[in-house]
Amino acid sequence: MTILRALPALLFLTPAAAQAATPIAGRWLTADGSGVVTIGACGGATCGRLTQILKVRPGAAATDVNNTDPALRSRPIKGIAILSGFADKGKDWRGTIYDPRNGKSYKSIVVRNADGTLAVKGCIAFFCQTQTWTPAR
């Protein structure tokens, strides 16, 4: 049997290569331009921390005052993990997104778009809201 005849049979015997999501590591400007989130490895997962605050809302607290855990309300907003526990799920990244403006966490899906931006989705049950983050300079 020639190799060309055996090739179709061999294709069925080899496991399919796992698809990997496009990497999301880097520095990203949030949709409203208020901050820069730096995404990278955190232990065995991927996370994103608010590393730069560009616009401060009038009267906004500098600490995580809206957190549901009273023990965390005194931590500074700058440096806080906005994205946590993200894992590569093949075509996208899945984890949790935290909104310090209301102190709540949501299921999240992040995808790197073909134009180099990030689609950052926060979800409650089946209802999701998507923001587009752009690369930060």
pLDDT score recorded for residue 1: 44
For each of the domains in the chain, give its residue range(s) and CATH number, in order of start.
Answer: 17-135 (2.40.128.520)
83, 37 contact by CB (below 8 A): yes
User: Residues 113-134: pLDDT tens digits?
Assistant: 999 999 999 999 889 999 999 9
Find, among 129, 94, 88, 118, the residue nearest to 108 by Cα: 94
Find, among 99, 90, 101, the residue nearest to 121 by Cα: 99
Q: Which two tokens stand for residue 12?
A: 């069925």
**Mean pLDDT over each residue of the chain, to the nearest integer:** 88
User: Residues 27-38: pLDDT tens digits?
Assistant: 999 999 999 999
